[in-house]
Amino acid sequence: MAVRIIGTGSSLPGNIVDNRALSRFVDTSDEWIRERTGIGERHISTGETVVSLSAEACERALENAGRDAGEVELLLVATCSPERNIPCAACQVQSRIGAGKAVAFDLNAACSGFLFALHTACAYVEAGMYANALVAGGEVLSKLVDWTDRGTCILFGDGAGAVYVEKADRGGILGYVQHSDGARGNVLTCDTRGLKNPYADFSLETAYIQMDGREVFSFAMRTVPAGILEVLEKTRIPKEDIDLFLLHQANQRIIDGIARRLNVDPGRFPSNVSRVGNMSSASIPVLLDELNRKGALKEGMKLALSGFGAGLTYGACVMEW
């Protein structure tokens, strides 16, 4: 039995913020940002939420798949920026789209979140517990960014992507791997509300994304090629047979560096980071939906997907479209 992506969808805020707009309130420039990241613009929420963006992405994935929300049996939302701790974003999305039959819950593995959620959905379907699943990655990172810190505010964007998966007789996801390195997790953090009760007060004045960019870059350069090679070895597929490598869209320099490490033509690494920035768990499903809707994904193509991020976490999978 295979688990195959049948439909894709995405949703981005309408407000587009380019590098020149950022330079009006932080010490940066279009040239400085492009040279270091490859990012030219990003979509920033003016009221859109993780739930509203994820719900729209899910509806578009269902429409693309030709399925109804009432058929969905499992609904997962990968996010590290929900508006509420409870109820979870997935339950709110379930309500919005009318997927009343679905079991719904969130998963947080930061920028690896969509892949971890996709792997989780596959495990449930492969085990026979559910026949299908909706998997979304949604983020509104703009509320977690310190807009006076040019090292982080230039990087992130908001958005959501989703896929609908179900059992299939052929193709689909051929194998996956995932790893975590919690001992090094302090290189990329974002605190939440501090402890404050009648017995203690560790409340925080700010809770913004903090990142050691050099360490994150080094982590990605080491682990992403290793993860991709691991899943290729596991599935016995040579890298030459992979048509496209879809990476987490963190930084164009990282994507280009990984292509060099793997000794693979950079043209096989599609990218949209210049237009949307780093959207954490939303980046891979949004890129996948863009490629699907413009007809770049042909039946039988082999794709390698890889995510990496806070935790530290990383993972990869290989699929036949």
Q: Does residue 278 carry a catalytic annotation? A: yes
Catalytic residue among 64, 248, 251, 292: 248
Amino acid at 35: E
Q: Report how far residue 2's alpha carbon sits from residue 126's, in angstroms, rounded to the nearest whole number.
A: 8
Q: Report how far residue 7's alpha carbon sits from residue 163's, in angstroms, rounded to the nearest whole number.
A: 6
Q: Which pLDDT score, from 0 to 100, does residue 1 have?
A: 66
Q: Which residue has the tokens 């109804």?
A: 68
Q: Which of 174, 172, 164, 299 is nearest to 243 (CA)?
A: 299
Catalytic residue among 111, 122, 153, 317: 111
Quote the Cα angle for 179-2-95, to 5°.
Answer: 75
- DSSP character for 241? G
Q: Which pLDDT score, from 0 to 100, does residue 31 have?
A: 95
Q: Which pLDDT score, from 0 to 100, does residue 170 have?
A: 84
Q: Does residue 317 carry a catalytic annotation? A: no
Cβ-based neighbour number of residue 243 at 10 Å: 15
Helix intervals (H) in 107-235: 113-126, 150-153, 213-235
Task: List, in order of start, the domains of the chain with CATH numbers.
Answer: 2-169 (3.40.47.10), 174-320 (3.40.47.10)
Per-residue model confidence as pLDDT tens digits over 34-56: 999 999 999 999 999 999 999 99
Catalytic residue among 19, 132, 278, 292: 278
3-state secondary structure of 28: coil
Global pTM value:
0.95
Q: What does pLDDT average to in each consecutive run of 10 residues of the chain (321 residues)?
A: 93 97 92 95 98 98 98 98 96 98 97 98 96 98 93 96 94 95 90 84 79 89 96 97 98 96 97 98 98 97 96 96 96
Distance of CA 49 to the CA centre of its chain: 16
Q: Which residue has the tokens 């998997």?
A: 135
Q: Does residue 263 carry a catalytic annotation? A: no
Q: Report how far residue 12's alpha carbon sits from residue 9's, in angstroms, rounded to the nearest whole number.
A: 11
**CB proximity list for 283: less than 8 A, separation 6 or greater:** 111, 114, 137, 161, 248, 249, 250, 273, 276, 307
Q: Which pLDDT score, from 0 to 100, does residue 197 have?
A: 84
Give the pair of three-digit tokens for residue 57: 């992405």
Give the pair of three-digit tokens for residue 148: 């006076």
Q: Which residue has the tokens 């006076």?
A: 148
